Amino acid sequence: MKNNGDYNGMLVSPAYSGETVIRIEKDRLTFQTSGRTLSLDFALIAEIRVANFRVLLKTDDGDFEISKLGYDFDGFYEMLYRAFCDRSQEALFVNGVPLLEAAGEFAYQDVFNTRQGTALLRIFEDCVLILPPDDGGRRVPLCFVEEIIRENFTIRIVLDTGERYELIRLGRKTESFFDLLTTYHQKAKSRYAADLAAMAGNQKEDPPMIRERYRVLTTVCGADQVFRGVFAPAAKNPEEAAEDQDLPLFFWFVGLHPDRAAVELSTGEKTATYLYRFLNSSGDFLSQLRHAMEAVKDHREVIYLEEISPKTTPLYAMAIKRSGALHFLRKAMAGRLIHNESWPSRVSEYFNA
């Protein structure tokens, strides 16, 4: 390794094969060759693995092989893996330093996928992150956790949707991880409940246009099929919420029919009505909608951007691969309705088609 953090090695890739100088950046790898600089965004990487002192990268653009790193091999892989995990954490919209990090194994079954392997495991005040060396990272929201069980070297987490996550063989950090998990699980549920209560209590203060859209949806769908929800709760105790009582509480609401939905956002931003079609039950859709809205925090545009790809919006492309609920929501998208004079009739037509 050079003094500036660059690594000398050999690269075999679809675009170039030969000697190269490799730099690990915050969101990508760069390869300096004799004639040009190649770039590989982490959003394109599906898997990182090692074999016979080579680093193998499975990507959307083909396979990359990095070799002949010499004594720098272990340090290179460790730095690459951590940079990839940090970028995955950013793609899961989690900021800051974890309360605890442990290396271990995992297994999960969620709405999007079933996976198992090794990972860095990080716990924060509102979530647990599972960060493997591939695109199967996950954020486990503590406010939706229904059950936490420790059995020997395994911590099992069950969400209100029935999705299950197992954290396995954390070594000496198992007990500390479990204690933090049980403590912050209760705090996260309390914060989320406090925000829901605040939203319900402030319903009479909704802006006029929001009240009108809510009225239209209740007329079309029925009052018992319109639901309200909040985004991520503030990372503080419920008793501290009074300090921010003058700040607006952003929320969303949805009108449901057996196979379709219309979602409205009350965020002070210029938005539309977002339409969804689904094959499973409306109750399942509502659960995944709640999870997706909590997960995006203030990155709400990832919900409604029409085009997301690794090359145009790499962070959001990584987010969709790593969030089962967000992937579910994006896959169910069926269009949007602009808020104008014809909006009420078009909403009615959509639900009655």
Q: What is the DSSP track for 128-186? A: EEEE-SBS--EEEEGGGEEEEEEETTEEEEEETTS-EEEEE--GGGHHHHHHHHHHHHH
Based on the structure, what is the number of domains in the chain?
Answer: 3
In whole angstroms, give the CA distance from residue 260 to residue 276: 5
Chain CA centroid to CA 307, Å: 17
> Is residue 2 in some structural domain?
no
Q: Quick check: 242 pLDDT over 60?
A: no
pLDDT at 240: 47
pLDDT at 244 over 60: no
Name the least confident of 2-11, 111-120, 294-303.
2-11
Band of pLDDT at residue 345, cut at 50, 70 and 90: very high
- Band (pLDDT 50/70/90 cuts) for residue 248 is low
Percentage of the chain beyond pLDDT 70 is 94
Residues 106 and 233 placed together within one structural domain of the fold = no
Q: Does the residue 316 lie in any domain?
A: yes
Averaged confidence pLDDT in the chain: 91
Question: What's the rounded mean pLDDT across residues 224-253?
Answer: 69
State yes or no: pLDDT of 7 exceeds 70. Answer: yes
pLDDT value, residue 91 = 96
From residue 60, how far is each of 52, 82, 164 by CA, in Å?
A: 23, 21, 28
pLDDT: which is higher, 244 or 12: 12
Find the mean pLDDT for residues 139-168.
96
The pLDDT assigned to 49 comes to: 96
Is the pLDDT higher at 4 or at 239? 4
| pLDDT at residue number 237 | 46
pLDDT at position 241 over 50: no
314 and 208 belong to one structural domain:
yes
Cβ partners under 8 Å of residue 168, min gap 6: 104, 105, 106, 107, 153, 154, 155
Q: What is the pLDDT of residues 186-223, one digit of tens each?
A: 999 999 999 999 888 888 888 899 999 999 999 999 99
Are residues 126 and 139 part of one domain? yes
pLDDT category at 323 given cuts 50, 70, 90 is: very high
What token pair was written down for 331? 């896959």
Does residue 329 share a domain with residue 247? Answer: yes
Q: Which domain holds residue 30?
A: 7-88
* pLDDT value at 140 more than 60: yes
333 and 211, same structural domain? Answer: yes
Residue 67 has pLDDT above 90, yes or no: yes
Q: Is residue 32 part of a domain?
A: yes
Both 75 and 128 in one domain: the answer is no
Q: What residues contact 85, with CB distance under 8 A and at least 6 apart? A: 120, 131, 133, 137
Q: Is residue 136 part of a domain?
A: yes
pLDDT of residue 137: 96
pLDDT band at 14 (very low <50, low <70, confident <90, very high): very high
Last residue of a domain, one of 191, 222, 239: 191
Domain boundary among 88, 121, 144: 88
**Are both 160 and 276 inside the same structural domain?**
no
| Overall average pLDDT of the 231-241 stretch | 55
Q: What is the pTM of this model?
A: 0.91
Query: For position 81, which CATH number holds?
Result: 2.30.29.30
Q: Are residues 203 and 187 in the same domain?
A: no
Residue 350 buriedness (CB in 10 A; 0-12 / 13-18 / 19+): buried
Asked whether residue 100 falls in the same domain as residue 55, the answer is no
- Give the pLDDT band (50/70/90) at residue 233: low
Comparison of pLDDT for 3 and 253, the residue scoring more: 253
pLDDT at 236 over 60: no
Q: Are 69 and 25 in contact (CB under 8 A)?
A: no
pLDDT score of 24: 96
For 270-289, the pLDDT digits (tens) are: 888 999 999 989 999 999 99
Same domain, 213 and 333: yes
3-state class percentages of the chain: helix first, strand second, coil last, to nearest 5: 35, 35, 30
Residues 104 and 168 reside in one and the same domain = yes
Which of 88, 109, 126 is the last residue before a domain boundary? 88
Inside any domain, residue 1: no
Note whether 232 and 318 are same-domain residues.
yes
Instruction: Please tell me the distance from the alpha carbon of residue 308 to that of residue 116, in angstroms, as a whole number.
Output: 27
Residue 161 domain flag: yes
In a domain? residue 267: yes
